[in-house]
Amino acid sequence: MGSERTNGTALDTVIIFTHQMEAMVRFYKDGLGLGPFESSPGHCGCYCGAVYFGFDQIDEHNEPRNSTVMPWFTVEDLPGMCAHLAQLGGRIKSPPDRKPWGGYLASVYDIDGNVIGL
């Protein structure tokens, strides 16, 4: 596979939701040699090539999730992409929001209820 981007969209991040954070990290670290993993409360991840790969802890206090994997895409126009996906039948989960590190993130439910991050 080439490294070309199409239409300004590129896979940037994959997050797996889990009830077993430590076991999942150990599995991917020992099994595939991934790491080093960095962690923060409820999250642990590392880079796998150019793509960030991580885990988010879920428990009974978190909202139920329809899916266990959340792909994240880098897009050129975040508000425009949210509007476009909504026109196609998606539902905005989290509108574009500036994060403490300066980046902007949003998330959308696809037409099957899976969450994708932008």
Q: DSSP letter string over 34-100? A: ----EEETTEEEEEETTEEEEEEE--TTSPP-S-SEEEEEE-S-HHHHHHHHHHTT-EEEEEEEE-T
Q: Name which residue leads in pLDDT, 83 or 9.
A: 83
Q: Looking at residues 35-53, what average pLDDT do you find?
A: 92
At residue 2, the pLDDT reads: 38
The domains found in the chain, sorted by start residue, are 10-117 (3.10.180.10)
25-39, 66-80, 90-104: which has the minimum mean pLDDT? Answer: 66-80
In the predicted model, is pLDDT for residue 5 greater than 70? no
CB atoms within 10 A of CB 49: 7
pLDDT per residue as tens digits for the range 75-114: 889 999 899 899 988 899 999 999 888 889 999 888 767 7
Q: Looking at residues 62-71, what average pLDDT do you find?
A: 68
